[in-house]
A and B are shown apart, each in its own frame.
Chain A
Amino acid sequence: MKLSGLPLQAIVASVLLATTAVAEHTSNWAVLVCTSRFWFNYRHLANVLSMYRTVKRLGIPDSQIILMLPDDMACNPRNAFPGTVYSNSDRAVDLYGDNIEVDYRGYEVTVENFIRLLTDRVGDETPRSKRLLTDDRSNIFVYMTGHGGNEFLKFQDAEEIGAFDLADAFEQMWEKKRYHEILFMIDTCQANTMYSRLYSPNIIATGSSELDESSYSHHADNDVGVAVIDRYTYYNLEFLEAHVQDLSSKKTIGELFDSYEFDKIHSTAGVHYDLFPGGEEAARSRLITDFFGNIQNVEVDRAKDLALEEELVELSKTIAMLRRKEAEEDAAYHNVSSIPASVPTAPPRKIQGAKALTEDDWWTKKIIGATALAGCALLWGVGSFLEA
Chain B
Amino acid sequence: MRSLLSFLPLLIPSALVSATEYHEQLNLRPLPLSALLASFNFRANTSIADFEAQNFRLFPRSLGQILQYAGTRELHLRFTLGRWDAESWGTRPWDGTKEGGTGVELWAWLDAETDEEADEKWLTLTNALSGLFCASLNFIDGTRTIRPVVSFQPEGDHPNTTLANTRLLHGVLPHEVVCTENLTPFLKMLPCKGKAGIASLLDGHKLFDASFQSMAIDVRPICPSEGECVLQLEQTVDMVLDVDRSKRPHDNPIPRPPPGHDLICDTTKPYHQPDDACYPIDHLRGQDWTLSQIFGRTMKGTCPLTDDEVPPVCVHLPPTRDLFASQGAHEIRYPNNDSLRCYHIEQDKEFTLVLTKSEFPSEGGEAAPLGIVKPETPVLYADRSFTGHGQEHGGVQAILTNPGDDSVEFVYMESLPWFMRIYLHTLSARISASSPNTNSSADLIKEIYYRPALDRARGTQLELLLSIPPRCTVFLTYDFERSILRYTEYPPDANRGFDVAAAVITTLEPKAMNIRTTSLLLYLPTPDFSMPYNVIIFTSTTVALAFGGIYNIIVRRMVGANEVPRTAMKDKVAAFIQKLKGKKTAVAAAAAGGKASIEPVSGTAEAK
Contacts and interface: CB of A to CB of B under 8 A. Distances in A.
A in complex with B? yes
B131 A98 contact: no
Contact of A357 (B124, B207, B448): B448
A128 B66 CA distance: 12
Interface in B157-198: 175-181, 184-185
Given A100-B181, A127-B127, A354-B463, A82 B209 contact: yes
Report which residue of B127, B131, B135 has the largest number of chain A beta carbons within 10 angstroms of its beta carbon: B131
A158 to B, nearest CB: 4
B180 A37 contact: no
Contact of B113 (A83, A334, A348): A348
B461 A74 contact: no
A278 interface: no
A349 interface: yes
Interface stretch (A102-110, A199-207, A302-310): A102-110
Contacts of A158: 491-492, 529
Interface in B133-174: 134-136, 138-139, 146-149
B331 interface: no
Given A80-B253, A158-B492, A353-B149, A100 B184 contact: yes
Contacts of B134: 101-103, 105, 129
Contacts of B203: 83, 98
B123 interface: yes
B180 A100 contact: yes
Contacts of B251: 91
Interface in B432-463: 447-451, 461-463
B139 A107 contact: yes
A355 B462 CA distance: 9
A352 interface: yes
A124 to B, nearest CB: 9
B127 A96 contact: no
Given A83-B208, A106-B177, A156 B492 contact: yes
Contacts of A239: none
Interface in A185-223: 223
Contacts of B119: 351
Given A102-B134, A105-B134, A108-B136, A75 B208 contact: yes
Contacts of B450: 354-355, 357
B204 interface: yes
Nearest to A159: B492
Contacts of A102: 134, 181
Which label, helix, strand, loop or mixed, suits the secondary structure of the A interface? loop
Report which residue of A82, A105, A352 has the largest number of chain B beta carbons within 10 angstroms of its beta carbon: A82
Interface string A84-99: 1000000100101111
B133 to A, nearest CB: 10
A329 to B, nearest CB: 13
A246 interface: no
Contacts of A75: 81, 177-180, 208
A94 B250 CA distance: 11
Interface string A65-84: 00000101011000011111
B581 to A, nearest CB: 56
B54 interface: no
A37 B492 contact: yes
B1 interface: yes
B115 A98 contact: no
A100 B208 CA distance: 15
A97 B181 CA distance: 10
B20 to A, nearest CB: 28
Contacts of A258: none
Contact of B136 (A83, A96, A105, A355): A105
B353 interface: no
A100 B448 CA distance: 45
A356 interface: yes
Contacts of A178: none
Interface string B109-140: 00001111001000110011011101110110
A125 interface: yes
Nearest to B413: A354
A157 B147 CA distance: 36
A82 B208 contact: yes
B204 A83 contact: yes
B136 A99 contact: no
Contacts of A355: 449-451
Contacts of A14: none
Nearest to B463: A354
Contacts of A107: 136, 139, 491-492
Given A101-B185, A107-B139, A354 B461 contact: yes
B309 interface: no
B130 A353 contact: no
Contacts of A356: 149, 447-449
B536 interface: no
Nearest to B460: A354
Contacts of A353: 147, 149, 451
Contacts of A231: none
Interface string A326-352: 010001001000000000000011111
Nearest to B176: A106
B131 A128 contact: yes
A130 interface: yes
A98 to B, nearest CB: 6
Contacts of A84: 205
Interface in A283-339: 327, 331, 334
B262 interface: no
A351 B113 CA distance: 12
A380 interface: no
Nearest to B134: A102
A158 B254 CA distance: 34
B363 interface: no
A75 B463 CA distance: 33
B176 to A, nearest CB: 7
Contacts of B449: 354-357
A40 B413 CA distance: 38
B493 interface: yes
Nearest to A129: B131
A384 interface: no
Contacts of A105: 134-136, 181
A74 B493 CA distance: 18
A39 to B, nearest CB: 11
Nearest to A62: B184
Contacts of B180: 74-75, 83, 96-98, 100
Interface string A111-129: 0000000000001011111
A57 B146 CA distance: 44
Contact of B184 (A81, A99, A357): A99
6 contacts: A38-B493, A106-B177, A108-B138, A126-B127, A158-B529, A357-B447
Interface of A: 37-38, 70, 72, 74-75, 80-84, 91, 94, 96-103, 105-108, 123, 125-130, 156-158, 223, 327, 331, 334, 348-357
Q: Across chains A and B, which 3 residue pairs bring their CB atoms closest together, nearest first?
A: A127-B131, A354-B451, A351-B115
Given A223-B254, A354-B461, 16 more contacts: A72-B177, A75-B81, A75-B179, A83-B204, A101-B134, A101-B181, A106-B176, A107-B139, A125-B128, A126-B127, A130-B131, A156-B492, A348-B113, A353-B147, A354-B462, A357-B450
Interface of B: 1-3, 81, 113-116, 119, 123-124, 127-128, 130-132, 134-136, 138-139, 146-149, 175-181, 184-185, 203-209, 251, 253-254, 424, 447-451, 461-463, 491-493, 529
